[in-house]
Chains A and B, each alone.
Chain A
Amino acid sequence: MAQSVVVQVGQCGNQIGCRFWDLALREHAAVNKKGIYDEALCSFFRNVDPRSGDDGADISKGKICSLKARALLIDMEEGVVNEILQGPLRDVFDSKQLITDVSGSGNNWAVGHKMYGCQYRERIVEKLRKTAEHCDCLQCFFVIHSMGGGTGSGLGTFVLNVLEEEFPEVYRFVTSIYPSREDDVITSPYNSVLAMKELSEHADCVLPIENESLFDIVSKINQMTKCGKLGSSVKQASLVTSSGMKTTKEKPFDAMNNIVANLLLNLTSSARFEGSLNMDLNEITMNLVPFPRLHYLVSSLTPLYTLADVHVPSRKLDQMFSDAFSKDHQLIRADPKHCLYLACALLVRGNVHVSDLRRNIERLKPALNFVSWNQEGWKTGLCSVPPVGHSHSLLALANNTCVKSTFLELKERFMKLYKKKAHLHHYLHTDGMEQSCFSEALSSLSDLIDDYNQLDVMSCGPAVDPPRLKIAM
């Protein structure tokens, strides 16, 4: 089985990353009762003998000795990482997997990307290589970061460039958290747009997630819990509340981070567990990215709200598929149903059959608008191991033009600042940062939006089949 490495950058990236590692360990613990280090664990964890000295020799078979996450933790302040090192996950990371500084990036993309990038490049490369050396078949990097701040957006996208240079053949999946409209970081539109250019050019696949959507989902769940709709029926291990930290005090972002961690959990489940119907990670980019830049996938997770609903199983199962296409299950604020699908993947976990997939695709298809050349643009994967405490779950990934609404809004907020050249000087102070960086980032974003627009426009026109090749008989 191939291996993946997670690179978590900045405060947000590290918090989500840690939720991911925690949940992943729980999942494996639930399945792997005997404590054997198997192929499944090997995909995201090393098994290390801590007594064997400095670097800890890898143990490839037998009992679990000490699990180390295949991860690199990067932050330009110490707070979050230190907290992790004192928390329950401290044994999963060691000091060789960390890169920290003390002064932070001051919510400035240029500081993260240009200054720290330059300063830490060698250390980043060295640690990435070390991590890669522990893999016998490295398939994927997962970068987790936020778009609004300085470190996540700046240094996070710098790391992405480094990955492309150093490991051109390893896939780069990026989970990017987009800032809210009322973000308290005034410069977040700058940071996001500057980061967008890097994502468009250097990622194989980006999963954009809007903070506001996460917030909406969490408040809806809280509301439902309060008015007793879910009441006592909410399972301990439900998708959103499975932090397992009930005993300690829950932090405000924990629930939101958990949703993203669950997205990653489902995305990687077929890489982490065996199964002949599993979807390989490289199949996702192959099937969902028809054009190199249009690699932004809108994701939705189900079940999300009614976790312990007691319905007839098959109805419940079909409901799960319907929900994945509803507006309030999307992790960005957009409505894929009313926009154009270029392609769509359904990653199902649990006791679900191929026939269930076929039935639901047939059922849902008429209501969805697929681009003319990809009328059968479905990709499916089945992982037999469900999330802990569930019978099944679904992650839908859509390459859908609705994603452009997020980009349009971002551009608008960027323009508001950029027209007045507000705060620009903070950026231009940094070595290597020039005004052209802003104009290029802006035009990159505009081009991207244009690409989606063109697809939308073409889909409104009459579908004309291209004339086939003529053969002289």
Chain B
Amino acid sequence: MSIITIQLGQCGNQVGREVFQAIATDLHSTHGLCSKKENDAYQAASKERFFSEEKTGVPAARAVLVDMEPKVIGQTLSVALRSGSWKYDHQSHFCQKQGSGNNWANGYCIHGPKHKEAIMNLVQKEAEKCDRLSGFLTLLSMAGGTGSGLGAFVIVQNYNSVLTLSHLYQTSDALLVHENDAIHKICAQLMNIKQISFQDVNQVIAHQLGSIFQPAYSSDSAVQYSRSPLGDLMEALVPHPEFKMLGLRNIPQMSENSLAFSTFAWPGLLKHLRQMLIANAKMEEGIDWQVRPPLPGLPLPQKQSPNRTAHFNTSIANLITLRGKDVQTADLGGFRDPALYTSWLSAQEALAIWKTPRAFNKYEKSASLVSNSQCLLKPIDAVVSKAWKMFASKAYVHQYTKFGIEEEDFLDCFSTLEQVIASYSSL
């Protein structure tokens, strides 16, 4: 089945291009380290998912590009074309002359309704190109107006984030949240990049997304690659509509130079990944190894406030994807511990495992974890807290009311997110 990617705003478009680039590179990788038959099946599944065949022979990304200003879309299209291995359909983008100026209300109340029909037509056309459509992957930043540049400073970003998140919470099936600061740290500490560019950050995100959405077998008995990646993801991770915030963890992540001097074994990788999960570390460096799951039989630790530092991260559900050599030998027992999960879902139901012997990207073995857990509680709480402080002073509110977002609307959004925070806190 196919996935249609909707790239929104500066960030969405820049990340989207890197995602397709990462997938195209991986598709044609000669380091698959698996049988030809396996590789062919993987390639076929990946192509169907992300690209449509064009008469010219260059596959076209199943994507719709939307931005309210032309600069980034122009760059995105031309950089993709230059890659030679894939391109965007020259008709599936929509842009205007003037951006939303970091103003969520401008994007939502003005640009949205005005261009809804044109954008939905593009989506429709893209959907008609698919034999079987699994769903939509929408890429955007929370902070901007249309979706602002990643890592850019935006003063009103907390307002925009609150408005974006609360609306997404009501309209999406699941949210994959990337934290800018965490990605920056990965670039600096794991990838060893001295001057981190936007592209570096986007490439890390693209790698993470690619590692989830490239084909994998969704059970040990499966004879073909998963047909409905988004459906399977939902089934594995979102058992309740109140809980749909998903965090991503990958291992290993390192620069190509270090990679040449490293070997990996599944037990080591999975041990780190498990501790990253329970201690809520965003990367394999600086993990707090002191954090342990609560012992069975003992009373649950008291409800902790979301801003405490080190504590055990309770999961609702986890999805682990393993790619590469000897994948069948990997022991995932550490993730089957019931103590990792809430009481209302058994470990059996709460853990999903996808595998493929096909290596991803340049890593001989790699594991990624998508987790529906408390891991995003702290950053979301911080955003709400900062936005609320601003809102209590009525600062910047006039910029939004000007376009039709009233104080009431803000309050609704705040209460939606407070509800989410309260729900996750009480796990």
Contacts and interface: CB of A to CB of B under 8 A. Distances in A.
B196 A286 contact: no
B97 A137 contact: yes
A312 interface: no
Interface string B63-106: 00000011110010000000000000000000001110111000
B289 interface: no
Most buried by B among A342, A357, A361, A379: A379
Contacts of B156: 286-287
B395 A276 contact: no
B97 A286 contact: no
A288 B388 contact: no
Interface stretch (B293-301, B329-337, B411-419): B411-419
> Main SS of the interface on chain A?
loop
Interface string B375-388: 00000000011101
A374 B398 CA distance: 16
B142 to A, nearest CB: 15
B422 interface: yes
Interface in A139-182: 139
Given A280-B99, A286-B101, A343 B418 contact: no
Nearest to B386: A376
Nearest to B194: A355
Contacts of B261: none
B10 interface: yes
Nearest to B70: A1
B395 A374 contact: yes
Contacts of B198: 276-277, 354
Contacts of A373: 386, 389-390, 392-393, 395
B170 interface: no
B418 A473 contact: no
A136 interface: yes
Contacts of B414: 469
A343 B415 contact: no
A229 interface: no
Contacts of B422: 471, 473
Nearest to B196: A355
A350 interface: no
Interface string A344-375: 00000000011101000100000000011111
B426 interface: yes
A372 B389 contact: yes
Interface stretch (B20-28, B145-153, B222-230, B264-272): B145-153
A471 B415 contact: yes
Contacts of B389: 372-373, 465-466
B418 A471 contact: yes
B396 A468 contact: no
B80 to A, nearest CB: 15
B72 A374 contact: no
Given A2-B97, A2-B98, A137-B97, A276 B72 contact: yes
Contacts of B398: 291-292
Contacts, number: 115
A377 B101 contact: no
Nearest to B96: A137
Given A276-B198, A372-B389, A469-B415, A137 B155 contact: no
Contacts of B195: 353, 355
Nearest to A294: B395
B149 A277 contact: yes
Nearest to B398: A292
A283 interface: yes
Most buried by A among B152, B195, B392, B414: B152
Contacts of A280: 69, 98-99, 101-102
B399 interface: yes
B388 A468 contact: yes
B30 interface: no
Contacts of A326: none
Contacts of A396: none
B154 interface: yes
B153 A378 contact: yes
B197 interface: yes
Contacts of A282: 98-99, 101-103
A81 interface: no
B108 to A, nearest CB: 14
B102 A469 contact: no
Contacts of A473: 422, 426
Contacts of B415: 469, 471
Interface string A255-296: 000000000000000000011111010110111111110000
B98 to A, nearest CB: 5
A6 to B, nearest CB: 18
A282 to B, nearest CB: 3
B418 to A, nearest CB: 5
Contact of B395 (A286, A291, A471): A291
Given A276-B75, A378-B155, A468 B97 contact: no
A380 interface: yes
B102 A283 contact: yes
Contacts of A377: 155
A289 B399 contact: yes
A468 B386 CA distance: 11
Given A137-B98, A276-B75, A471-B418, A379 B155 contact: yes
Contacts of A471: 415, 418-419, 421-422
Nearest to B72: A276
A357 B152 CA distance: 10
A453 to B, nearest CB: 16
Given A139-B98, A354-B151, A373-B389, A276 B10 contact: yes
Given A355-B195, A465-B389, A286 B149 contact: no
Nearest to A357: B153
A357 B421 CA distance: 33
A473 B424 CA distance: 12
A286 B14 CA distance: 23
A289 B156 CA distance: 10
Nearest to A465: B389
A355 B201 CA distance: 12
A342 B396 CA distance: 11
Most buried by A among B196, B197, B392: B392
A2 B69 CA distance: 9
A37 to B, nearest CB: 17
Interface in A390-447: none
A373 B391 CA distance: 9
Given A137-B97, A280-B101, A469-B418, A354 B196 contact: yes
6 contacts: A276-B71, A280-B69, A289-B399, A378-B153, A466-B388, A468-B388
Interface of B: 10, 14, 69-72, 75, 97-99, 101-103, 145, 149, 151-156, 195-198, 384-386, 388-390, 392-396, 398-399, 411, 414-415, 418-419, 421-422, 426
Given A1-B71, A286-B399, 7 more contacts: A275-B71, A282-B99, A376-B386, A378-B153, A379-B153, A380-B152, A468-B384
- Rank and list the top 7 A-B pairs by shortest CB-CB distance, nearest first: A282-B101, A466-B392, A137-B97, A290-B395, A287-B155, A380-B153, A373-B389
